[in-house]
Structure 1
Amino acid sequence: MSAATTTASRTTSQPESPGGLARLGRWSATHLRVVLLLWLAVIAVLGAFAPRVESALSGAGWQDSTSQSVQARAVIARDFSGLGATALQVVVHDNHAPIAADPAAQRIIARASDLLAADPRVSVVVAPEAGVSLSKDGATAVIQAGAKANANDMVRAADDLTKPLARLATGSITVNLTGDSALWSDFNQVNHAAMIRSEVLSWPVTMLVLVLAFGSLVAAGLPLMLTLVGLLSAAGALVLSTHIAPVSIWALNFALMFALALGIDYALFLVVRFRAALAARADQPDRRQAAVDAIGETMATAGKAIAFSGVTVLVSLSTVLLVPSPAFRSMALGIMLSVVAVLAATLTLLPAVLGRLGHRVDAGRVRLPRRLTRRPAAHPLPSTANEAVARKRGLELLLHRWGGLLSRRPWIAAGLVVIVLGVLAWPVLGLRTGMPSIAIIPADQSARAGYVQVVSAFGPGAPGELQVLTPVADQTRTNAVLTGDRGIAAAIPGSTNAGWALIQVIPTTDASAPATGATIDRLRTELPSGSLIGGAAAENHDLDTALSSRTPLVFGLLIGLGFLLLLIALGSPLIAFAGVITNLASIAAAFGVAKLIFQDGHLSGLLHFQPQGFVDAWAPLFFGAMLTGVAMDYTLFLLSAAREHYDATGDPQEAMRTALRTSGRVVVAAAGVMVAVFLTFALSGPLAPKEMGIILAVAVFLDALCIRLIILPVVLRLTGHGAWYAPAWLTRVLPNIRFSH
């Protein structure tokens, strides 16, 4: 069967009754009060919990919950007073005299011990002990506080105790709270504050881009309405979710980010199509009815694409749930909740508001210089009614010309893009990942200062101390394995309880060094059966291993499920395959750039950070899922418009150029906002937001510019009717989804 025949079988049918989304849009447009009351009720219920979100969410959860190290932590919490990975450590350092000979230092140690003992989350306080937690020169002592509460509560304990302990310091004696719980406490506080500052700084740029993209002040405010609804709903839902399982504080940051991004994407796409549909009814005498009819048409076309887009974003993020880490799962949950809220508001609240606004959606019109909107006779736009608004837009004119250039020189355009993406993606072959080192904590934070003091006093492996649990009957054999291992600096036998012997083990290398992970893996194969290795370094290593092992599975699902969803939506195997595979090109190029900057250290001076020698282990999996969702968003906007015009005209070249002119504007504007927001993160102080900001900004920029505005249009240009071909058997299997009205 030919492509044209297959297309005809898809498009030639009896006039269809309005679809479900069209009916929903028309109903919303005529029932503004009901829709508003329903959303006000939702916001009132969920918004009542939103103010508690920061205090309710947790700061820990960066672990593989199925790992041996987490199992060891549970045993230590039960049988060894919680002196494991989540225990607190207070480092007292005397700059002028040995601690044992300084009464002031002794008083500080006593006061610090009292502060720790008074906290109900502390099970036991262990005083400094010579040869174990008192340095050879006597200048540094470590007080240990066992964890009586879970990991999240111990991070909160670190939040509460850091400043009171620091106030005990004098001019010559420093007091710093460190340990894994303190590290996550400082990490969360510093990075959360930096991300909030970045988001606040990005608002002026966001508003400017929105005004330019929408062309009016009223229309530019619509994405903010969706963002507010999505954020309040997601924040309240996250608080309620904490009654089921702990939710990471980072879920809120990512929920806000996606609420803003999708609010802009969806509002821009819907408003652009609504304006065109309304312009086509300029001669309709009943302006109110014209607005309602325009909403029905918009929801039948753009609304359907947005619904599919929301589903693809949710499916992409759901793959992160495969990682057995509470932090990752709750971050994905936060984004998914914001997506659901923004999607629901886009399909109900936004049509209701647009139906009431009608032509007033253009109130507060922003006039661009005539030279940006003048239409030369050499490049006329089609004179259909739906293009009445588009003819006045400088960006549509530019994209119209761009589409013509791609039609004339497809191979040159595609070749240049492939070269650029290939050069940028090449370094990804040498990409190394690892769990974050101490470099992600600013030097002035208590946890890092204490960490550095421990390294100076006890050696590089001391902050990454391992806890080895072995059956009492195998204690002698276990000691022999530990003392004979090249990666172990010291093994300190501890107490025994409940059939277990606890041995404190200090590696020879830093906690985040690959050699420490290799030592952990080697010991697990050599220690007696039933032995467990725990500790913060082991937990980080196990999470790194889990992320590395699941990344191929996650990307495989992203490709497979993305292909299936695009196939269902667009009905073409070729274009669904091209839409999914091209996503990987921009992601690979972004991580190639990340390798050069964050692993190799290029631009570290300009960006003011200390390179770790690797990219954080969660970046490929988590950011990859996020970027796939965003890329599929843009893909559906562009290709659904091309499908719509192809079904209407049967002309693949005109469908490509029309889709590029209309939906390309949405892609450019939405990507511009997202790149601006992400770059503000790249300029923030801490390393983690820098890494996130640059990876996401580069990926979105390359995806919008290279993939959606060049590669996909070139694919449509070169394949012609074949782009939309589907075998007869597949056409019978797939649902007949049409984006035309």
Structure 2
Amino acid sequence: MKLLGKAPSMSPLARWCHRHRLAVVLAWVGLLFALGLGVGMAGSAFGNSSTSQNTDSARAAALLQKASNSAAGKSGRIVWQTRQGKVTDAAAERAMTDAVERVAAAPGVASVSSPYSPDGARQISADRTTAFATVTFDQDVGDSQIDRVRQLATGPGTARLHIALNGQAFSVSPAPNAAADAMGIALAFAVLLFVFRAVWVAVLPIVTAVVGVGTSAVAVMLLSHVVTLSSTTLTLGSLIGLGVGIDYALLIVNRHRTNLLGGTGIAESIAKSLNTSGRAVIFAGLTVVIALLGMLTLNVGILDGMAVGAAVTVVLTVLAAVTLLPALLGLIGSRVLSRRERRALADVGPRSTIEAGPWSRWAGHVQARPKTLGLLGLVVVTALALPTLSLRLGAADDGNLPASSTNRQAYDMIAHGFGPGVNGPLVLAVQAPAAADRAAAAKLVTTLRQVDGVASANAAPMREGQTVGAISVVPTTSPQSAATSDLIDHLRAEVVPRAEQGTSMKVYVGGVTASNDDFASVLTAKLPLFVLVIAALGFLLLTVAFRSLLIPAVGAVLNILSIGVAFGAIVVVFQYGFGASLLGLGAAGPIESFVPILVVGIMFGLSMDYQVFLVSRMREEWAHTGDSHRAVRVGQAETGQVIAVAATIMFCVFGSFVFGGLRVISEFGVSLAVAVALDALLIRMVVVPALMHLCGRANWWLPRRLDRALPRFSVEGPSEEPASRPGPGREPQTAGLPR
């Protein structure tokens, strides 16, 4: 890259890696082994961090925790249902009473609330076919202790007595799916082999990406001891790393093949490839990392860890592409070409890589009909992005899990026996320092029972001297329902303020359901600004890279449309439910609150990748000829194949994660697979070149003062300048040219 002066060449790095190729390969193997050994000794420490947002539910949780001074940890439910008879029949009651007692005596269990206790009547359904017990664990309970409780609880299950578990303590997050990784890698290999007809061209990008992702995975495990990282960070990193890692390596390999076919020697070709395409890879990787780390400014705990983990993965995949890959290219020599290509090179000699082919013909069609194709492409992309207008953020509950899941079965049993709202009750924290406040709190309970959307409201009696109490409110609708969100808003805006009026009582609406709703509201409010900031960042980076105002402006708008396509895809599949059940993704529901934020960061980086790959070649041709139409046509023709192959690989890798069994990762897979395919094949191969043909020389215009003020930043390495350069409304001139 070229910044404030002469660009440091990457050729010395490429030549060093080529000369010491065996040492470089062994160094990567040693790094992977050393990090793996560290993980074997220290393990990982994944966990979820709470947000730092000042929300009503956060205040409720803090107040109740302070008042109770409890060290209790996670809780969950044991739910059982009789297929014949009642849960109060002697045999069923005896079996489950024994099981509950064994659970209560198990290590790590703080308390158990049994439906067969004197105060447990509300834990038995009206038809006496369903009951549940609530288990509260110690704060430092281990996974093995929870597994033991799970075994004890489900032990009495028979054909007549069905037992299932749900709740925070018993939630099961599917482990990273090795089959999804393998499927994506196999599909990527098939695509590369089909297109290039050379085994090593198919192998090298995959090996480079796998080494980068594997190294980053063990690094992230060690990093989890320092930074709070979500348990989904590894899967998300694998999803992103495999996609970008294969693409970045493919770009360098493709340039190397082009150089070899043109008669360049192996060592010199590797140096040239890294000094041109290697620069583009570093620039593209930096944009992804910047976008991911930009999420740290949102100050959302769960996103911070995911962003850091994903950024580490991208950095290591880029490092593998610019160090390990040159070494591997040196080891295999000319076998990066197919046998037919090697024979032709030996018999006929070097040949030009600019040939008439399908992508050249397509570039000519776009140049001939820019208005029609550009407008048609914009209409299609806009239509696909329209479902974004109905995007609803929230938190999918156990009702969205596949029917085979024990958590889903427990959820359905509770909903059938007690009503859907019991799966996510609201908890109102009441601060009542005076006697009159306690009377007002009792009156509030009566008022809540009469509110539309409330199935029941109950409060535990406040003891003498106690100033903080809790009211449990069970909605008539499920935790993820929009009606439940409306109820929360109604309680906060109208019911609670009226109850507080004329008193010193303070009431905060909390609980897991309200907390999820608050989290969604916080991110919904931040999402538009984040999209605009990302678009502005893209505009600035492209302006510096390509010395143009029009190209970055078009790129920023089209990046937003790409993000809209990603959102539209997850809305249709996960919120509307079209195809979700066929894919094994459970029922329709809201989109996980943090998914759109991460998608914005990832899609920004990937869209910038393709824009850089495409426009950098166009600008290289413009720098040589000064002919804008030729530059656009040649740039599209020469990068069309590699962008199409890269997008196909991305689609395969992202699409394979849809079947991983984890709804959050499936949302990423669907959104990114659809958006990347449309972005590369429609936006970059139709809309961008069509608009650039319509704009002509204005594509490359930059005001003189701005040109002098901006730093010099070369993406594809040094190139010759065009003989002329346009200004708006005047003849081409040489002043202010990018270098």
Task: Mark yes or no: TM-score above 0.5.
Answer: yes
> Is 1:272 aligned to 2:240, yes or no?
no
Letter in 2 for 1:312: T
* CA 325–453 in structure 1, closer or farther in 2 if over 3 Å, else same: farther
Deviation for aligned residue 1:683? 5.5
- Structure 1 residues 613 and 428: CA distance shift in structure 2, 3 A: same
- Confirm or deny that 1:291 pairs with 2:266: yes
Kindly provide the amino acid, as one letter, of the partner of residue 473 in structure 2: V
Of 607, 621, 633, which aligns to 1:631? 607
| In structure 1, C-alpha distance between the alignment counterparts of 2:341 and 2:58, rounded to whole Å | 58
Does structure 2 conserve the Cα–Cα contact (< 8 Å) formed by 1:562 and 1:580? yes
Equivalent pair of 2:64/2:468 in contact (CA under 8 Å): no
What is the match of residue 45 of structure 1? 34
Do the aligned partners of residues 549 and 668 (structure 1) sit closer, same or farther apart at CA in structure 2, a change above 3 Å counting? same
1:492 corresponds to which of 455, 458, 461: 458
Quote how far apart the aligned CAs of 1:317 are.
1.6
Corresponding residue for residue 334 of structure 1: 309
The 1:490–1:480 alpha-carbon spacing in structure 2 relative to 1, beyond 3 Å, is same
Distance, in Å, in 2 between the alignment partners of 1:321 and 1:723 is: 34
Tell me the residue number matched to 2:442: 479
SS of the aligned residue for 2:460 comes to: strand
Contact 1:320 1:328 in 2 (8 A): yes
> For structure 1, which segment, 130-139 or 198-207, has the greater mean C-alpha deviation from structure 2 after superposition?
130-139
Question: How do residues 696-735 of structure 1 correspond to structure 2 at under 5 angstroms?
Answer: 696-735=672-711
Structure 1 residues 445 and 613, CA gap change in structure 2 (3 angstroms): closer
Distance in structure 1 (CA, Å) of the matches to 2:630 and 2:580: 46
Matched, 1:225 2:202: no
- Partner-residue secondary structure (3-state), 1:489: strand
Aligned positions of 1:182-197 closer than 5 A:
182=170, 185-186=171-172, 188-189=173-174, 192=175, 195-197=177-179
| CA-CA distance at 1:682 after TM superposition | 4.2
RMSD: 3.3
SS of the aligned residue for 1:125 comes to strand
1:365–1:622 CA distance, 2 compared to 1 (3 A): farther
CA deviation digits over 1:94-126, x for unaligned, max 9? 344444442442332332342254132x32222
CA distance in 2, matches of 1:604, 1:40: 40
Report the CA distance shift for 1:227/1:706 in structure 2 as closer, same or farther (over 3 A): same
Structure 1, 489-498 or 196-205: larger mean CA deviation: 489-498
CA gap of 1:721–1:43, structure 2 versus 1, over 3 A, is same
Match of 1:401 among 341, 358, 361: 361
- Quote how far apart the aligned CAs of 1:533 are: 2.9
Q: Is the 8 A contact 2:581 2:587 kept in 1?
A: no
Q: Which residue of 1 aligns with 2:130?
A: 140
- Does 27-36 or 700-709 show the bigger shift? 27-36
Q: Cα deviations across residues 599-646 of structure 1 (Å, max 9, x unaligned)?
A: 334445655665425444434322232222211111111111112222
Kindly provide the CA deviation profile for residues 23-43 of structure 1, in whole angstroms up to 9, marking residues without a partner as x. 322332223244334423422
Identical-residue share of aligned pairs (%): 29
**Contact kept? 1:147, 1:154, Cα under 8 Å:** no
Shift of 1:160: 5.6
User: Partners of 1:616 and 1:242 in 2: how far apart?
Assistant: 23
2:95 corresponds to which letter in structure 1?
R
Q: Pairwise mapping of residues 349-498 of structure 1 onto structure 2 (< 5 A)?
A: 349-362=324-337, 388-389=352-353, 391=355, 397-473=357-433, 474-485=437-448, 486=451, 487-494=453-460, 496=462
| Letter matched to residue 547 of structure 2 | G
The residue aligned with 1:315 is: 290
Report if aligned partners of 1:25, 1:348 keep a CA contact under 8 Å in 2: yes
Q: Distance in 1 between matches of 2:336 and 2:540?
A: 36
CA contact (8 A) 2:17 2:323 kept: yes
Deviations along 1:198-241, whole A, 9 cap, x unmatched? 33333322211122344411122112222222222221222122
Query: What SS does the corresponding residue of 2:132 show, helix, strand or coil?
Result: strand
Alignment correspondent of 2:139:
149
TM-score (norm 1): 0.85
- 1:102 is matched with 90
Greater CA deviation, 401-410 or 525-534?
525-534
1:343 shift after superposition: 0.8
Q: Which amino acid aligns with 1:124?
A: S
Give yes or no for contact 2:49–2:301 (8 Å, CA) kept in 1. Answer: yes
Q: Does 1:174 align with 2:138?
A: no
Whether the aligned pair in 2 keeps the contact of 1:135 and 1:458 (CA below 8 Å) is yes
Q: Which has the higher helix share?
A: 1
Deviates more, 1:297-306 or 1:513-522: 513-522
**Residue 502 of structure 1: which of 453, 470, 473 is its match?**
470
Residue identity matched to 1:478: A
Partner residue of 1:126?
113
SS of the residue 2:429 aligns to: strand
CA-to-aligned-CA distance 1:373-411 (integer Å, 9 cap, x gap):
xxxxxxxxxx997x63454xxxx7211111111111111
1:52-63 matched pairs, under 5 angstroms: 56=44, 58=46, 60=48
C-alpha displacement at 1:17, in angstroms? 6.8
Indicate the SS of the match to 1:427.
Answer: helix
Sort the Cα spacing of 1:512 and 1:274 in 2 relative to 1 into closer, same or farther, 3 A. Answer: same
**CA–CA distance in structure 1, aligned partners of residues 569 and 562 of structure 2:** 11
Please identify, of 547-556 and 520-529, the stretch whose mean Cα deviation from structure 2 is larger: 520-529
In 1, the alpha carbon distance for the partners of 2:528 and 2:73 equals: 29
Q: Structure 2-normalised TM-score?
A: 0.85
Q: 2: distance between equivalents of 1:586 and 1:313?
A: 15
Alignment of 1:502-581 (within 5 A): 502-525=470-493, 526=496, 528=500, 530-581=506-557
Within the alignment, does 1:198 sit opposite 2:180 as a pair? yes
Aligned to 2:420, the other structure's residue is in SS state coil
Q: What amino acid maps onto 2:544 in structure 1?
A: I
What is the CA–CA distance in structure 2 between the aligned matches of 1:137 and 1:126, rounded to whole Å?
20
Cα distance, 1:501 vs structure 2 = 1.4
2:233 is the counterpart of 1:251: yes
Question: Helix, strand or coil: the match of 2:260?
Answer: helix
- Give the letter aligned to residue 286 of structure 2: V
- One-letter identity of the residue aligned with 2:329: L
CA contact (8 A) 2:527 2:597 kept: yes
User: Deviation per CA, 1:218-272, whole angstroms, max 9, x where unpaired?
Assistant: 1221122222222222212221222124322211111111221112111111111
String of CA shifts for 1:662-719, please: whole Å, max 9, x gaps: 2222210011112123333446666555544332222111111111101111222222
Deviation, 1:733, is 1.5
Match of 2:81 among 87, 93, 107: 93
CA separation in 1, counterparts of 2:282 and 2:511?
45
1:484-531 residue CA offsets vs partner (Å, 9 max, x unmatched): 131332222226587421222212221111222222233334254643
Residues 384-439 of structure 1 show CA distances to partners (whole Å, capped at 9, x for unaligned) of 97x63454xxxx72111111111111111112212222332333333333321433
Q: Aligned partners of 1:732 and 1:127: how far apart in 2?
A: 76
Is residue 2:1 matched to residue 1:25? no
The reply to whether residue 35 of structure 1 matches residue 24 of structure 2 is: yes
Retained in 2: the 8 A contact 1:91–1:454? Answer: yes
Hey, what's the Cα distance between the residues in 1 that align with 2:279 and 2:148?
49
